[in-house]
């Protein structure tokens, strides 16, 4: 039996003002059991650069460091693709930690059941704060948008997400890189990969510990951005906007209606049946969230915070959906943070 050629991996990390985060990520990469990979750190116009951090790993990693003007994460990944030496490109966000067996799991899957592009799940690390663990729950739970994004059983075709994503060199050579630099750039890219006939899938063992945001205000802003990004994708691929994607928007409407029903008695109006029904539904949902989070996290504190994180997530995403629909579909205006490549679609 003929031996399979070795697959050389190129890890590409876009970076913007996060030297401490990338230090932790590089440390986790230095501890990989499989060493057949290089690392490219691309500084995207940062004021606080990570050059000194990268220098610490010269003797532990095959690592290269680049600086470029600020263009956003999508085009920064393209910059890395153009300079990578590998047969396969792996993208991480700088706020990820990678378990020691990650590269070994990926290479095993590619050698036994090839994928032209893959994504991996995310989880909470034991070192995360309770708030980070709660946010991680909200982003992965089947009771929130975690049930419709970034997992094998979500609605429609599986779309790898760029915080933990890999593509073959052939994919890049065939369809190029990201055409958007933010606002749903990874979903747009995944759809184009699939439309070009490439095989995509989830590698369940390719888990990363994704820190995401460290407080609820930043988490709200991030998820609001995600909601707008979902509508941005609609502008390119209308069929990819499914009814289930409007669940957060429906949740916002439900919350507003419930609040109004509880305020009506103060104004002298009463709708006791509807008020009781909405309050009961909200209470049941909160109880489900708490019970499920407690079973997953084994912590009363994290479970309680997870309820709030889930409500923040759905509310932020829902308002983002509303803003995106109003601005991009009704008013037909370009959303300000969207940047496009000069390349045309193939």
pTM score, whole prediction = 0.86
Choose one of 214, 230, 253: the last residue of a domain: 214
Residues 154 and 209 occupy one common structural domain: yes
CB 261 within 8 A of CB 274: yes
CA–CA separation, 5 and 291 (whole Å): 48
Residues 74 and 137 occupy one common structural domain: yes
* 197 domain-assigned: yes
Question: pLDDT of 157-174, one tens digit each?
Answer: 688 998 999 999 999 999
CB 25 within 8 A of CB 96: yes
Q: How many domains does the chain have?
A: 2
Supply the range of the domain harboring residue 269: 238-330
Q: Across all residues in the chain, what is the average pLDDT?
A: 89
CA–CA separation, 334 and 324 (whole Å): 10
* 127 domain-assigned: yes
List residues bridging with 167 in a β-sheet: 89, 117
Residues 149 and 57 occupy one common structural domain: yes
* 171 domain-assigned: yes
What local confidence, expressed as pLDDT, does residue 158 receive? 80
Residues 115 and 250 occupy one common structural domain: no
* 335 domain-assigned: no
Residues of the chain with pLDDT under 70: 1-5, 147-157, 266-268, 334-346
* 343 domain-assigned: no
Closest to 306 measured CA to CA, from 288, 319, 318: 288
Choose one of 199, 214, 229: the last residue of a domain: 214
CB 169 within 8 A of CB 87: yes
* 2 domain-assigned: no
Choose one of 161, 179, 214: the last residue of a domain: 214
CA–CA separation, 8 and 17 (whole Å): 29
CA–CA separation, 83 and 327 (whole Å): 37
What local confidence, expressed as pLDDT, does residue 212 receive? 77
CA–CA separation, 187 and 92 (whole Å): 15
Residues 285 and 201 occupy one common structural domain: no
Strand order in the sheet with 208-210: 96-97, 208-210, 122-123
Residues 161 and 300 occupy one common structural domain: no
CB 144 within 8 A of CB 138: yes
Question: Going by DSSP bridges, is the β-strand pair 37-44/63-68 parallel, antiparallel, or unpaired?
Answer: parallel
CA–CA separation, 182 and 180 (whole Å): 6
Residues 186 and 250 occupy one common structural domain: no
Residues 40 and 158 occupy one common structural domain: yes
Residues 24 and 166 occupy one common structural domain: yes
Strand ranges, E, within 87-191:
88-92, 96-97, 117-119, 122-123, 164-168
H-helix or E-strand spanning residue 78: helix 73-83
Residues 320 and 199 occupy one common structural domain: no
Residues 208 and 242 occupy one common structural domain: no
What local confidence, expressed as pLDDT, does residue 266 receive? 64
* 78 domain-assigned: yes
What local confidence, expressed as pLDDT, does residue 241 receive? 80
The CATH number linked to 162 is 3.90.550.10
Residues 200 and 266 occupy one common structural domain: no
* 131 domain-assigned: yes
């Amino acid at each position: 039996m003929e031996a399979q050629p070795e697959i050389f991996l190129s890890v590409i990390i876009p970076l913007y003002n996060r030297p401490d985060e990338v230090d932790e990520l590089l440390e986790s990469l230095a501890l990989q059991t499989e060493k057949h990979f290089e690392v490219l750190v691309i500084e995207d116009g940062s004021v606080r650069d990570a050059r000194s951090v990268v220098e610490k790993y010269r003797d532990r990693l095959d690592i290269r460091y680049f600086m470029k003007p600020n263009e956003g994460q999508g085009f920064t990944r393209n910059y890395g693709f153009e300079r990578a030496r590998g047969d396969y490109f792996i993208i991480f966000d700088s706020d990820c930690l990678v378990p020691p067996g990650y590269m070994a799991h990926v290479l095993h899957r590619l050698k036994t059941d090839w994928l032209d592009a893959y994504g991996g799940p995310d989880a909470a690390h034991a070192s995360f704060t309770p708030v980070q663990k709660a946010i991680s729950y909200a982003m992965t739970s089947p009771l929130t948008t975690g049930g419709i994004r970034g997992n094998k059983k979500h609605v429609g075709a599986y779309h790898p997400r760029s915080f933990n994503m890999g593509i073959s060199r052939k994919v890049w050579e065939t369809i190029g890189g990201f055409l958007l630099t933010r606002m749903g750039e990874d979903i747009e890219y995944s759809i184009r990969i699939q439309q070009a006939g490439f095989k995509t899938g989830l590698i369940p063992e390719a888990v990363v510990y994704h820190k995401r945001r460290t407080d609820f205000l930043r988490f709200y802003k991030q998820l609001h951005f995600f909601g707008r990004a979902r509508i941005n994708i609609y502008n390119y691929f209308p069929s990819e906007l499914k009814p289930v994607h409007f669940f957060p928007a429906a949740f916002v409407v439900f919350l507003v209606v419930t609040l109004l029903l509880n305020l009506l008695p103060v104004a002298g109006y009463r709708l006791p049946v509807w008020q009781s029904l909405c309050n009961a539904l909200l209470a049941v949902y909160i109880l489900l969230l708490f019970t499920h989070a407690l079973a997953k996290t084994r912590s009363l504190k994290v479970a309680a915070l997870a309820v709030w994180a889930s409500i923040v997530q759905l509310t932020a995403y829902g308002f983002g959906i509303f803003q995106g629909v109003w601005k991009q579909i009704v008013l037909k205006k370009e959303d300000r943070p969207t940047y496009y490549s000069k390349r045309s679609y193939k």
